[in-house]
Amino acid sequence: MHKGFGPLWNPQTPADVRERAVQALGNRFTFIAKTLEQQPFLTGDAFSIADAYLWVVLNWADYHKVDLTPWPAVQQFRARVAARPAVQATLKAEGLVK
């Protein structure tokens, strides 16, 4: 997932390359969504470091204007992790939310 966002960070990436990168990310979102449709977190019922890392990377979608609406399970995962008290406390401490 992380590497798939690579081309999107470069403002000089040609539009066709960006589009292919977004399509490739879509394949990864589909794969992850299938897991998250069956369980709340990547490895099951318990939150893990993998979930924390995925949440950070998924948030790059907003920055790069990648639409996640085709993957409701991914959106629900993002909301579920964002609602965690420790995540909220961290976002507030870093000045990312009020």
The pLDDT, as a whole number, for residue 73 is 98
C-alpha of 8 from chain center? 14
3-state class (DSSP) for residue 61: helix
For residue 79, give the amino acid letter.
A
Is residue 4 within 8 Å of residue 24, measured between CB atoms? Answer: yes
Quote the mean pLDDT of the chain.
95
Give the tens place of pLDDT for each residue, 1-11. 899 999 999 99
CATH code: domain of residue 37: 1.20.1050.10
Residue 53 lies in a domain: yes
Give the tens place of pLDDT for each residue, 44-78. 999 999 999 999 999 999 999 999 999 999 999 99
Q: Domain of 67?
A: 3-93
Residue 98 lies in a domain: no
3-state class (DSSP) for residue 73: helix
Q: Tokens 């470091």 — which residue?
A: 49
Its pTM surpasses 0.85: yes
Residue 25 lies in a domain: yes
The pLDDT, as a whole number, for residue 82 is 96
Nearest Cα residue to 57 out of 84, 85, 78 = 78
41: β partners: 44
Residue 32 lies in a domain: yes
Q: How many domains does the chain have?
A: 1
